[in-house]
Amino acid sequence: MLFGKTLLITGVSSGIGARTAEFAGQLGADVIGVDVREPSLASMAFIKGDLSSKSGVDEIVAQLPKRFDALCNVAGLSGATGAVGTLSVNFYGLRALSEAVAPRLREGGAIVNVASIAGYGWRANQNRALSMINVEGFPDVAEVVAGHAIQDSESYPVSKELLLLWTFRAAHLERFKSRGIRVNAVSPGPVETPILKQFRAVLGDSRVDSDISAVGRAGTPADIAPVILFLCSDGARWINGANIAADGGLEAAVNAQVLGF
């Protein structure tokens, strides 16, 4: 379903990003990878870049081709580096890259954002999330964090709440909708990646273990990559503004608990 397409994938040096890039190549796509570290996979074009600042995003965009088919926003931080760094990469840098490449995405193309079950609380925190995504451009993130009293310990969930709410909004923004660009999200549960230990440190062992116990096992990058790539394909041409829970049923379990059914 991806034969002949060109995909831009961030976070390709490890975890979900690495498996997504590998699988995309196996499905016939050309891959342009972006990461702060060199990837082990040699069969793709690679741009060394940092999403944590406007200048970093601009440098990445300057090296991209004029046309490609999809953007997979996989890169992200666990929250261990603090609120400013986490929100800079996980939301504001991701959004800036998505907006900047919109003119380069072919009509009918796709943007896929890797969110998380950790962003489940966006409904309860909707006013805060709206306030933070209404800050346009690539803002002074330290100022935004201070203005919304975001603690380091909550920065990862907050970043994913913003990402989910922005995904729903972006699907209907003129810059994307006018060119038929679909914007969707994938929300994994706990996944066996190199930063899972960092998630344990940030979210706590009890939270992570409880989530894993609810569905029987942690996910793997191979569980998530096919969902991301499906959303990039023509097979998903009528899916827009959606969040796919690729979590073994964890969101369903949380819904049952929260809503009491």
Which residues are part of the catalytic machinery?
Answer: 156
Alpha-carbon distance of 129 to 123, in angstroms, equals: 9
Task: Identify which of 101, 104, 123, 65 has the alpha carbon closest to the alpha carbon of residue 258.
Answer: 123
Best CA proximity match to 196, nearest among 118, 93, 254: 118
Q: Which residues pair with 244 in a beta bridge?
A: 186
Question: Which has the closest alpha carbon to 169: 74, 225, 233, 243?
Answer: 243
**Helix (H/G/I), strand (E/B), else coil: 205:** helix
- Three-state secondary structure call for residue 71: strand
